[in-house]
């Protein structure tokens, strides 16, 4: 286990055990009262008539545990020294011998978090604070997820769902640049939950995130290419790089949780037109197959029998 993981695990364990408290505020230390005059910490009174199961769980014995959170300039957890800043300063990350290495050939491990939908487009103030805070927690990669869910504020699209919203793109650029300055890489996701233009009616209810059908339907494949081209060739003015040539981008996920086989998002049995004819022509779909239903309306899901039928 690397030094990064050991230190993160130790910090999380101490936090969970209640051993970590915020750093004291700057300034002269408060005067210490004599031991005999020490005032016990204030605690919430136990409910009337309540009896503690044992002393360890008696609310009268609890002590205050305030947390400053992201607004705190200092704290007991500070793993920022583990991150080389800026991200990508040693060149692109690549796989070598079963490990990630940077441009200088040094091995690197990643400890990351998701930013989903609206979280991918914070204000400048929030982006700066979040980048510093994540670095302090030892994070060195952020996954940008569900950016294609819809128009602003939830996603990257303009209202027409065909072009990128310049204001949202500016927010993304700033956040990526702030993360990079703090040694944090970006993992950009392309198709996750987009409802493609032209996907409507019964097909839209059945494939509300555009999955499965975009594996073979030409118009949706082309839409994926257009989106990838628009996003990845866009030059971030703050880093001077297009995302396709940005060393602070760890990787790009092309299509999230998607397949032509039955899975949680549905199956390709008995497709409505024009998807059915195209799917059968490409060997992806068959008519007259059962469609097990998910308890949620409009969400088909495969069963073991359906999977077995598909394999036969």
Which pLDDT tens digit goes with each residue over 91-130?
Answer: 999 999 999 999 999 999 999 999 999 999 999 999 999 9
Pairing of strands 235-236, 185-191: unpaired
pLDDT of 161 over the 50 cut: yes
- Rounded to 10 degrees, the C-alpha dihedral 21/27/29/30 comes to -90
Q: What is the pTM of this model?
A: 0.71
Q: Is 171 helix (H, G, I), strand (E, B) or coil?
A: helix
For each of the domains in the chain, give its residue range(s) and CATH number, in order of start: 83-258 (3.20.20.80), 259-312 (no CATH)
pLDDT interval class at 34 (50, 70, 90): very low
Considering the chain, what is the average pLDDT of its residues?
80
Comparing 279 with 54, the larger pLDDT belongs to: 279
Digit-coded pLDDT (tens) for 219-267: 999 999 999 999 999 999 999 999 999 999 999 999 999 988 788 888 8
- Residue 207: name the closest of 294, 146, 281, 289 by CA: 294
Residue 305's pLDDT band (boundaries 50, 70, 90)?
Answer: very low
Helix-strand-coil split of the chain, %, nearest 5: 35, 15, 55
> What percent of the chain shows pLDDT beyond 70?
70
Q: Is 215 helix (H, G, I), strand (E, B) or coil?
A: helix
């Amino acid at each position: 286990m690397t030094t990064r993981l050991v230190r993160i695990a130790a910090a999380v364990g101490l936090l969970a055990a209640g051993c970590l408290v915020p750093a004291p505020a700057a300034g002269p230390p408060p005067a210490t009262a004599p031991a005999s005059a020490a005032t016990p910490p204030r605690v919430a009174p136990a409910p009337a008539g309540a009896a503690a199961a044992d002393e360890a769980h008696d609310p009268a014995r609890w002590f205050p545990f305030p947390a400053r959170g992201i607004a705190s300039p200092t704290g007991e957890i500070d793993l920022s020294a583990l991150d080389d800043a800026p991200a990508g300063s040693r060149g692109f990350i690549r796989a070598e011998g079963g490990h990630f290495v940077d441009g200088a050939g040094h091995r690197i491990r990643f400890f990351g978090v998701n930013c989903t939908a609206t979280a991918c487009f914070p204000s400048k103030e929030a982006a700066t604070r979040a980048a510093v805070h994540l670095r302090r927690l030892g994070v060195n990669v952020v996954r940008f997820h569900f950016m294609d869910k819809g128009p602003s504020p939830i996603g990257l699209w303009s209202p027409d769902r065909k072009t990128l919203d310049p204001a949202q793109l500016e927010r993304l650029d700033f956040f990526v640049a702030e993360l990079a300055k703090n040694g944090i890489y970006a993992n950009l996701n392309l198709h996750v939950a987009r409802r493609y233009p032209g996907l409507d009616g019964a097909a839209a209810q059945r494939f509300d995130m555009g999955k499965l059908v975009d594996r073979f339907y030409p118009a949706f494949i082309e839409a994926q290419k257009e989106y990838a081209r628009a996003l990845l060739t866009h030059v971030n003015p703050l880093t001077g790089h297009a995302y396709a040539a940005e060393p602070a981008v760890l990787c790009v996920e092309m299509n999230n949780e998607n397949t032509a086989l039955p899975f949680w998002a549905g199956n390709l049995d008995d497709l409505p037109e024009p998807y059915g004819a195209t799917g059968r022509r490409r060997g992806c779909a068959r008519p007259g197959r059962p469609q097990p239903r998910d308890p949620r309306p409009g969400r088909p899901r495969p069963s073991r029998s359906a999977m077995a039928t598909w394999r036969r």
